[in-house]
Chain A
Amino acid sequence: MSMPTMNCLIVANPQKSVAQELDLFLRTHAIATKVVEDAVAAVQCVQEQHFDAIVLDARAHGLKIEQTIRLLKGCDPHARIIVRTDDNSRHLEGRVRKEQIFYYHLDSFGMHDLQLALSTALGMQDSATSIINHM
């Protein structure tokens, strides 16, 4: 019997480079990934398929961030949502945190934090330990 595959959805807009880097990291760990360009496409994907974790750009086009989180949670209450941004503000962080996400990431904190949060969200204990040891 094959191991169940973990799935991760990455919403890439506008920081495509972050999405590419994450995509590579997850594929290295045999996690199936899907990258979409905007919030509406993300909601459509989650309506069709379960994702264990979703990495969402706080400024993804199409919908407001809090609407996106609510819709994603409505479609799949079990998905762990990580929101990342390259330009934080108290107002934005407050709006996002009210929606009870798994982790809030600032891009300038580096990829390691994001990878660690994602590894934890996906239950990749070995990967999380390895990232902690290299921090």
Chain B
Amino acid sequence: MAPKTKILLIDDEDLLREGCKRLLEMAGYDVSSSAFPEEGLRWARSEAFDIAIVDFRMPGMTGIELIEKLRRVAPSIDIVMMTGYASIEMAVEAMKTGAQDYIAKPFEADQMLETVSRLLKKRGHLGPQADHNFTFEHGGQIVRLIGASPGMQELFAMILKVAPSDSTVLIQGESGTGKELVAKAIHSHSKRKNRAFIAMDCGSLVESLFESELFGHVKGSFTGATATKHGAFELAHGGTFFFDEIGNISLSVQAKILRAIQEKQIRRIGATQIIPVDARVIAATNLDLSAAVENGRFREDLYYRLSVIPIHLPPLRERRQDIPILTDFFITKHNQRRPHKPIENLSAEAAAIFNAHDWPGNVRELENVIERATVIEEGHQITVSSLPPNLQHLHNLEEGSGVAKIESLAGLEKKHIHQVLKKVNWNISQSAKALGIDRKTLYDKIKKYGLQPD
């Protein structure tokens, strides 16, 4: 196993330092942190760190002085300077002194992780790969698919299996399950990874604009000159083209897409010239495309052309064991906005709600709920009161007797019959009439549920 990447973090702001340390450790790095520049320098003399992240303003020594000293004691270390006083001059000064990168406070968790991964990439390695993460580099950023569940582990294996081929892939899954991330993961593990990954949301534009965006357009300008829009598909030549929400396109555009995939060539709108395009196609949809084919809303030939390799993304409710891992990840991510009072965990009630909720919006919904809670929560725990009303409702359903315990139909029937009987002083005829059942059925139910007058 490769040794962990070692990071030295020096910042006198305790909360920010601890938040960064936790973030980087969760990402799998080995972090040594100190509030004191001299202590950091001492460590750098005796240990080999890959990266040092240092604050610009600290008592006793400026960031620039620290960078100069670090550079002398550990010439191979990469240095990132953090500062709350962002200015181009300071960045230039830090770079002149020997810092490799610069990050302005306040920053997002992603920015910090991206900065670290960028430096690691330059050093020739990608960093850690935790067991439950599928981590890859895309467009200069580190991207993570998270999940320890069997469904996600199978997905990770599938990505690695299909990535090297040029076959079309159809990713099906509900909204918020991470279809685009999977497409990027496939691209990033393919031989096309150094070429373009171009994505288009098929449902966002009106048809006339969509076609021009996709295939390009040659149009005479008002001066009589010809302007050319190359189009997204052509620009994916050599790389990967991702059709997001492919189920939303019209039948006429479907025909053109089919031709482009089959013949590996396109013609810009208004042009006569044919342009060869070698792009791997990945498509995604949250619809049941086979049903759309049966209904005549999606071309059968295009469906089969796209679904050479079908990948199904499991909804979050089918991989509940991933909820705690994802929750931790998103709490750390969104804690960056509240370094003064980081969220540590969920209250027991909130955790039970997270486990009971069906998450129709999947991972995206989970992240939104956590982001919301980190904004409004005043304590160190996400509590029920900082959850959206639809989740709080789960708590209210069975408050005091187990969160979100859904009552059975029989239980509800028993309660309802008892209430009706009480209301009419156990008059069986009136109760049966109110309940819409005959007297015999009511007697049977009274006996079945063991109901008695109070």
- Which residues of A does B touch, CB under 8 Å? 74, 80, 88, 90, 93-94, 97-98, 100, 102-104, 106, 108-110, 113, 116-117, 120, 128, 132, 135
Enumerate chain B residues within 8 angstroms of A120, measured Cβ to Cβ. 204-206, 209
Enumerate chain A residues within 8 angstroms of B212, measured Cβ to Cβ. 113
29 contacting pairs across A/B (C-beta < 8 A):
A88-B227, A88-B229, A93-B230, A94-B230, A94-B235, A97-B196, A97-B232, A97-B235, A98-B139, A102-B205, A103-B209, A104-B213, A104-B229, A106-B219, A106-B227, A108-B221, A108-B222, A108-B225, A108-B227, A109-B219, A110-B222, A113-B209, A113-B212, A116-B209, A117-B205, A120-B204, A120-B209, A132-B206, A132-B208
Taking A74-B108, A103-B209 as given, write out 6 further A-B residue pairs in contact, using a Cβ cutoff of 8 Å, ordered by the A residue number: A74-B111, A93-B230, A106-B227, A108-B219, A113-B209, A113-B212
Enumerate chain B residues within 8 angstroms of A128, measured Cβ to Cβ. 206
Does B254 count as interface, using CB distance less than 8 angstroms? no
Does B179 count as interface, using CB distance less than 8 angstroms? no
Q: State the total of A-B contacts with C-beta under 8 angstroms.
A: 64
Does B17 count as interface, using CB distance less than 8 angstroms? no
- Residue contact A88 to B228, C-beta cutoff 8 Å: yes
Give the residues from 213 to 263 in chain B that come closer than 8 angstroms, CB to CB, to chain A: 213, 217, 219, 221-223, 225, 227-230, 232, 235
Knowing A74-B111, A94-B235, the reply to whether A117 touches B227 (Cβ < 8 A) is no
Does B152 count as interface, using CB distance less than 8 angstroms? no
Cα A88 to Cα B204 in complex, Å, equals 23
Q: Which of B139, B213, B230 contacts A103 (CB 8 A)?
A: B213
Interface residues of chain A: helix, strand, loop or mixed (majority):
helix
Knowing A88-B228, A108-B219, the reply to whether A98 touches B213 (Cβ < 8 A) is no
- Residue contact B219 to A102, C-beta cutoff 8 Å: no
Interchain nearest-CB distance for B244 vs A (Å): 9
Does B197 count as interface, using CB distance less than 8 angstroms? yes
Does B199 count as interface, using CB distance less than 8 angstroms? yes
Does B198 count as interface, using CB distance less than 8 angstroms? yes
Cα A74 to Cα B230 in complex, Å, equals 27
Q: Which residue of A lies closest to B141 (CB)?
A: A70
Cα A106 to Cα B218 in complex, Å, equals 11
Interchain nearest-CB distance for A134 vs B (Å): 13
Cα A100 to Cα B205 in complex, Å, equals 14
Enumerate chain B residues within 8 angstroms of A103, measured Cβ to Cβ. 205, 209, 213
Q: Which residue of A lies closest to B233 (CB)?
A: A97
Cα A50 to Cα B139 in complex, Å, equals 25
- Residue contact A116 to B206, C-beta cutoff 8 Å: yes
Ranked 5 nearest A-B pairs via Cβ: A108-B221, A108-B227, A94-B235, A106-B227, A93-B230
Knowing A102-B204, A103-B205, A103-B213, the reply to whether A93 touches B222 (Cβ < 8 A) is no
Interchain nearest-CB distance for B430 vs A (Å): 45
Enumerate chain B residues within 8 angstroms of A116, measured Cβ to Cβ. 206, 208-209
Cα A45 to Cα B284 in complex, Å, equals 34
Cα A73 to Cα B209 in complex, Å, equals 22
